[in-house]
Amino acid sequence: MSTVESNGDKNRIGLTLNEYKGAKSTLCPGCGHDAITGSIIQAAFEAGIAPHRVAKLSGIGCSSKTPAYFLGRSHGFNAVHGRMPSIATGVFVANHGLTMLGVSGDGDTASIGLGQFLHLVRRNVPLVHIVENNGVYGLTKGQFSATADVGSKAKSGRVNELMPIDVCALAIELGCGFVARSFSGDPKQLRPILRAAFSHRGTAVIDVISPCVTFNNHEGSTKSYLNVKEHDAPLHDITFVPHYENIEVDYPPGETREVTLHDGSRITLRKLEEDYDPGDALRALEVIHRGRQEDKFVTGILYLDPDKDSLDADLHLVDEPLATLPLERVRPPKKVLDEVMSSLMTGGA
């Protein structure tokens, strides 16, 4: 899948692909999550992200183990179940110079962590929030999660009757500036999405359908490899052009839409079946709903608003990380205490 895999090839900051790898995966062979890990490694390498500037975050579950398998030089925080967003919020305020890359699962985000997920989006905390979505709890052996589709059959034979929670639709509803859906088996689509997400200033929600080979890959499961492949309906072909590369993408007129991100990078979307405007939130919600009715997994960049302010603008933070400000910047001088004390000193003599 990779284009620059040969050892010795270095990226723009002089690192090799190997230097973006992590520990060996302990997930089941063939797990969709491992493919996503591969895409993350590749995308971070291509983007030339400095590993020490990355904070890898996750919650609990199979998906949340994966940050150990990529960017081994980065700091990682494998949080408690469903609470990665609060960790991310604290990390960002303490050091807004870090690139935050979060991996969660469907149980972690849509069940136990739904509340925190929504508030993360609402605050527009700059986190690349990847949901490795297989519709099932893997580590506890095959229970449905809140993203299981209506009518999907579990390995035990039980059929899910409840409406799935669509994290993309929720994110759009809350004004998230970057919402995408992809498939672990389509690295060609996932990689540019990831690279664009790294350049986005704000929460980037990427829901990646990632089949569970052990508990949700059978006939009757809507999130099996076979079913997702058959029903994958990409909206467009995605090309990402980073701000430091001066490449013109040449498409016939009327075939593409281009969106420029805050750092000057560009996303080019080449239309497939019909024209799709990723700046239209209502249209995005319509596409998601229609896709569900037609049993299709609509993938691609569903919604983009690159200009929305992120949390640091709201807080008016100083440029330097709060975490390492020196004492004289954070302890007011003695005259401040004296001023406060004398305002409280009204006793008589």
Partner 1 sequence: MSGTINDFSIHVATVNGSGSQTANTTLMRAIFQMGVPVSGKNLFPSNIAGLPTWFTIRVSDRGYLARRRANDVLVAMNPETSVEDIQAMGPGSVIVLNEGLPTPAIPSDRTVYKIPFQKLVEPLVPDAKFRKLVVNMVYVGVVASIVGIDPDEVERALQAQLGRKPKALETNLAAVRAGMEYAARNLGSSPFRVERRDRTAGKILIEGNDAAALGAMFGGITFLSWYPITPSSSLAEALQGYLERYRRDPKTGRATFGIIQAEDEIAAIGMVLGASWCGARAMTTTSGPGLSLMTEFTGYSYYAEIPAVIWDIQRVGPSTGLPTRTSQADLLSVAFLSHGDTKHVILLPATVEDCYEYGMESFDLAERLQAPVFVLSDLDLGMNVWMSDPFRYPEKPWDRGKVLTAADLTRIGKFERYRDVDGDGIPYRTLPGTDHPLAGCFTRGSGHDERAKYTENAETYARVMDRLAKKYETARTLVPPPVVERARGAEIGILAFGTSHWAVLEARDLLTPQGLETSYLLLKAIPFSKEVRAFLESHDRVYVVEQNRDGQMAALLKMEYPALATKLRSVLHYDGLPIDAQTIVDQIKNREREGVLAR
Residues in the site for partner 1, rule: CB under 8 A? 23, 50-53, 55-56, 67-68, 72-80, 83, 85-95, 97-98, 115-116, 119, 123, 315-319, 321-325, 327, 329-332, 334, 336-338, 340-341, 344-349
Closest approach of partner 1 to the CB of residue 69, in Å: 10
| Residue closer to partner 1 (CB basis): 7 or 342 | 342
Closest approach of partner 1 to the CB of residue 29, in Å: 19
| Residue closer to partner 1 (CB basis): 247 or 313 | 313
| Residue closer to partner 1 (CB basis): 77 or 251 | 77
| Residue closer to partner 1 (CB basis): 1 or 325 | 325
Closest approach of partner 1 to the CB of residue 205, in Å: 17
| Residue closer to partner 1 (CB basis): 11 or 95 | 95
Contact 309, 87 (CB under 8 A): no
In whole angstroms, give the CA distance from residue 38 to residue 204. Answer: 19
The answer for residues whose C-beta is within 8 angstroms of residue 102's C-beta and 6 or more apart is 56, 57, 58, 84, 85, 88, 127, 128, 129, 130
Q: Please count the other Cβ atoms lying within 10 Å of the Cβ belonging to residue 89.
A: 18
Closest approach of partner 1 to the CB of residue 156, in Å: 27
| Residue closer to partner 1 (CB basis): 186 or 312 | 312
Q: Please count the other Cβ atoms lying within 10 Å of the Cβ belonging to residue 300.
A: 20
| Residue closer to partner 1 (CB basis): 74 or 145 | 74
| Residue closer to partner 1 (CB basis): 282 or 341 | 341
Burial class for 196, CB neighbours closer than 10 Å (0-12, 13-18, 19+): buried
Closest approach of partner 1 to the CB of residue 310, in Å: 13
Contact 22, 71 (CB under 8 A): yes
Contact 41, 15 (CB under 8 A): no
Closest approach of partner 1 to the CB of residue 202, in Å: 16
Record the tokens describing residue 25, joined without a space.
Answer: 């995966």
In whole angstroms, give the CA distance from residue 280 to residue 261. Answer: 16
In whole angstroms, give the CA distance from residue 281 to residue 294. Answer: 20
Calculated CA dihedral for residues 118, 119, 123, 128, nearest 10 degrees: -50
Closest approach of partner 1 to the CB of residue 132, in Å: 18
In whole angstroms, give the CA distance from residue 228 to residue 211. Answer: 8
Closest to 325 in 3D by CA, of 74, 94, 125, 54: 94
Closest approach of partner 1 to the CB of residue 114, in Å: 11
